[in-house]
Amino acid sequence: MMIPPSAQGAHRVSERQSVKSGSSAAPHVDECEVLVAQPPVFEDGEPPVGVVIHAYYPEVLQDILRRLIKLPERLHLYVTCVAGRDDAVCAQLTASTLSFSLYRVPNHGRDVLPFLRVLPFLRADNIRTLVKLHTKRSLHLGGENDWGVELFDDLLGPVRFSRALEHLADPVHVPMLGPQRYLLPVTRFLSESNRALLVTLAERGGIDPRGINEADYFAGTMFFARTEVFAPLERMQLTGNDFEAESGQLDGTLAHTLERFFGVLANVGRQQRNIDLYQRWLASRQLAAVEVEG
């Protein structure tokens, strides 16, 4: 077993040292305080699966960890939490014996901005496949966290987990997977203001805005994905200043729009996959005599 030099360097940040925007890590890690920095362990050169969790509710984190412990795959957890809950989260992670890194972030940008802030660490660690989870409840939907439990059941069942990783390991397949019940067209119930913001995001990321009409997204922002899908976000350089202050909004924020934009990114990845496959086919194709003569 070995830890690649790039990963070792990424985790030389001392505990409780703030990582500022413009550092070598990347622009998304402003206001992201490293509390625990365990390097992920590679096996035969293969990285573990990155499990990204925004642990706003420590009591819900227990349910996630209970499921993760039962999985046979090698995992490294990238966990974000808010001030006042970091000790409880850290204690649970330590007791789980799972490999983890822990970051403290402001209560800002729902589970989306924390996700953007830790993505540079996954890239530095050469994590190729990730699972995005969070603990936030949507109390306005009723039933407290029942929908969250349903998502955990779908994503973290041992058979489902293994098959999803096999699927994503093959570049022929789509780069993002999630619960089928929560897969929706990006344009469903899309307001004009949110569409305008999606167009702005697409243009900022160098993406054709027409792809918005063709994409689907996973409502609830919990999914499996190849890390490469989120590469355009680096060009966008979103920071905390781009996100609205928390005031219990149910829609219309940048975090809500990015939930849909992740689906747009996945669609771009799907299209690029088709182009790559076609180019590969052309490179290996034997031309018939009539084609050569013509």
Please give the full DSSP string across 185-241, using - where no structure is assigned. ETTTT--HHHHHHHHHHHHHTT--GGGGGG-EEETTS-EEEEGGGGTHHHHHT--GG
Higher pLDDT, 78 or 292: 78
* CA nearest neighbour of 126 among 241, 198, 202, 42: 42
Give 237's contacts (C-beta < 8 A, 6+ positions apart). Answer: 27, 28
Distance of CA 155 to the CA centre of its chain: 14
Higher pLDDT, 278 or 85: 85
Is the pTM higher than 0.85? The answer reads no
pLDDT (0 to 100) of residue 250: 63
Each residue's pLDDT tens digit, 223-256: 999 999 999 998 888 988 888 777 666 666 898 9
Tell me the mean pLDDT in the region 189-197. Answer: 91
pLDDT (0 to 100) of residue 43: 94
Each residue's pLDDT tens digit, 266-278: 998 665 544 444 4
pLDDT (0 to 100) of residue 135: 94
β-strand partners of 46: 43
pLDDT band at 172 (very low <50, low <70, confident <90, very high): confident
pLDDT (0 to 100) of residue 240: 87
Gap between the Cα atoms of 64 and 89, Å rounded: 12
Tell me the chain's radius of gyration from C-alpha atoms: 20
Average pLDDT, the chain: 82
pLDDT (0 to 100) of residue 270: 63
Highest mean pLDDT among 11-25, 116-130, 147-161, 260-274: 116-130
Tell me the mean pLDDT in the region 93-102. Answer: 98
- All domains of the chain, ordered by start, with CATH? 5-185+216-248 (3.90.550)
pLDDT (0 to 100) of residue 138: 55
pLDDT (0 to 100) of residue 279: 46
Tell me the mean pLDDT in the region 166-190. Answer: 93
